[in-house]
Amino acid sequence: MQKWATSGKSEWLQYDQEDDHWELNPNVSLHMYISELPCGEASTRAIAHIQSIHDPEMASLKDDGPPNILDDLTPVAARGRNAYSRFNVVRTKPGRGDAPPTNAMSCSDKIALWCAVGIQGALLSSMGMTPLYIKSITISGVKGTQILEDMENDIQDDCRRAFSGRLHKPDSQVHTPHILFTTCQYTQGRDRGSGKSRSSNESLCWISDLGKEILTNGVRRGVNPKNWSNPSLRPRICKASIFAQYLDTRKAIHIVRKLR
């Protein structure tokens, strides 16, 4: 029996017939671009530095945590951007200053989760997909930014610690992505134009082999509200569409296994 399936080849995936699992082709890798430092563990020192220059009084108020506790593994969450000097803690998203604190994981913690278990999610894992790890993360807004140029090495250390370093334990497997900084800036970033940024209610989604679709407030542009529940008019990346695709794929895999 061949180890790797040769029929129905995909340019993205390969199938191990012996161990019954899928994985990326050797020539395929995943890379991530972020337009600015992710909130949470990776950006606390950078934000504290910026705030200490622009608003020293506020910086002093925000840094209300105990001294650096790199070795403290107590499972306590830090709210938003408080307690800048605390490392290795789970942080929530900062949220708006005039809104109640959020319970959402910070971006740094989400990336750390991906480094530990992959980005494939539970549905793909249940079908035999091996963990999909991000090979490199390229971040804008640090390199070439005057206020942070002297901190580039420190910020890179913060990113390594935030994404994978704080997760390493004996016998654990945690993927460590390459951390890169770029001077190429996102054209709609805060450091462009008026200096103000505003979230857009539109997004462009592109999927290889399927093309693109424009979403407005999470639904396909031009779709009447009364048709939002129509399966054929749902966004391809909404949870209902993804779950329907999962069920179809599970059914196809079951049929193929019965025919062996």
More confident residue, 65 or 181: 181
More confident residue, 71 or 111: 111
Q: What is the average pLDDT across 116-123?
A: 91
Phi and psi at residue 176, to the nearest 5°: -115, 110
- CA atoms within 13 A of residue 200's CA, in its CB half-sphere: 8
pLDDT at residue 65 is higher than 60: no
* CA 158/CA 179 separation, integer angstroms: 10
pLDDT at residue 135 is higher than 90: yes
pLDDT at residue 4 is higher than 80: no
Domain boundaries, the chain: 23-195
Give the single-character DSSP code of 114.
H
pLDDT at residue 132 is higher than 90: yes
Short-list 211, 208, 205, 202, CA closest to 235: 205
Question: Percent of the chain, pLDDT > 90?
Answer: 30
Residue 141 CB-density burial (10 A; 0-12 exposed, 13-18 middle, 19+ buried):
buried
CA angle 142, 143, 145 (to 5 degrees): 65
Tell me the pLDDT band of 189, cut-offs 50, 70 and 90: low
What is the per-residue pLDDT across 198-245, written as a single tens digit (0 to 9) for each? Answer: 667 888 898 877 889 999 988 999 999 999 889 989 999 899 999 999
Residue 211: strand pairing partners: 207
- Residue 254 confidence (pLDDT): 79
More confident residue, 89 or 214: 214
Q: What is the average pLDDT across 2-31?
A: 78
- Residue 61 confidence (pLDDT): 66
- Residue 64 confidence (pLDDT): 57
Q: What is the average pLDDT across 26-55?
A: 88
CB of 220 within 8 A of CB of 214?
Answer: yes
More confident residue, 188 or 249: 249
- Positive or negative, the CA dihedral 179, 180, 181, 182 is negative
Short-list 137, 104, 133, CA closest to 119: 133
Q: Which residue has the tokens 């082999």?
A: 209
More confident residue, 201 or 64: 201
pLDDT at residue 92 is higher than 90: no
